[in-house]
Amino acid sequence: MKKVSLILTLLIGFSSISYAQTVTIGTQVWMTNNLNVHKFRNGDPIPQAKTKDEWEKAGENGEPAWCYYHNDPVNGEKYGKLYNWYAVNDSRGLAPEGWKIPSDEDWTTLTDYLGGEEIAGEKMKSTRGWEQEGNGTNESGFSGLPGGVRADSGTFNVPLSGTFLTIDYYGYWWSSSEGDTSSAWSRYLGYDNSGVVRYDGDKELGLSVRCLRD
């Protein structure tokens, strides 16, 4: 059974203390919104990549970066920021104090509790915001939104298996777990299916981040 609550969390990168809504799913406590910070836990700024070239350069150099989808702050208000994996893995800490970026195993714990990857997506997707009747039931309270993805090349429309992964159609979330030297594990939800896909993506991609209570 899910349990939704409000907690007082200091989100580094905001000018003040903010209230973060959380949900208990099984034994885990998740934030119900995507991360939207521009500073690491220690207060150091995370570089914003405002251009395609800046995004590409950060990835090529293995440096942390964030952006808004289509560089539009309005998208940030709804979906949070997109981060490359180098920001996720930075030793200065991307998640607020008391929180962490979920590991690949943490994501599996979540989807197993919700009945497995084949059906968990329907329970994790929000009840609105998804195109082409792709809304979920949000039975879990996870409130997953389709925040899109930024390609390692710096573009926002990414071909994968012949499709385009765009805002309002797909939502991607990083894990803290490395795949190999150039990739890391993530999860994504799509408008056109009820499952959750475990995806080994390039570290230079820009994906959403969701925090888990540490």
> Tens digits of per-residue pLDDT, 150-173?
987 766 665 543 333 579 999 999
pLDDT-derived band at 3, boundaries 50, 70, 90:
low
- pLDDT, residue 154, reads 63
Residue 126 and residue 181 in contact, taking contact as beta carbons nearer than 8 Å: no
| Separation between Cα atoms, residue 159 and residue 180, nearest integer Å | 21
Q: What are the structure tokens assigned to 15, written together?
A: 């000018």
Q: Count Cα neighbours of 103 within 13 Å in the Cβ-side half-sphere.
A: 5
Region label for 198, one of left (φ > 0), alpha (ψ between -120 and 50) or beta (otherwise): beta
- pLDDT, residue 15, reads 34
- pLDDT, residue 166, reads 79
**According to the 3-state scheme, what is the secondary structure of the chain?**
CCEEEEEEECCECECCCEEEEEEEECCEEEECCCCCCCECCCCCECCECCCHHHHHHHHHCCCCCEECHHHCHHHHHHHCCEECHHHHCCCCCCCCCCEECCCHHHHHHHHHHCCCHHHHHHHHECCCCCCCCCCCCCCCCCCECCCECECCCCCCCEEECCEEECCCCEEEEEEEEEEECCEEEEEEEECCCCCCEEEEEECCCEEECCCEEC
> Tens digits of per-residue pLDDT, 29-78?
999 999 999 999 999 999 999 998 999 999 999 999 999 999 999 999 99
| Separation between Cα atoms, residue 167 and residue 171, nearest integer Å | 8
- pLDDT, residue 152, reads 79
The CA-CA-CA angle for residues 207, 210, 211, to 5°, reads 140
| Separation between Cα atoms, residue 12 and residue 107, nearest integer Å | 24
- pLDDT, residue 110, reads 99
pTM for the whole structure: 0.89
- pLDDT, residue 103, reads 99
> Tens digits of per-residue pLDDT, 87-100?
999 999 999 999 99
| Separation between Cα atoms, residue 136 and residue 127, nearest integer Å | 5
- pLDDT, residue 205, reads 94
Q: What are the structure tokens assigned to 161, written together?
A: 């298996």
- pLDDT, residue 161, reads 34
pLDDT-derived band at 105, boundaries 50, 70, 90:
very high
- pLDDT, residue 163, reads 34
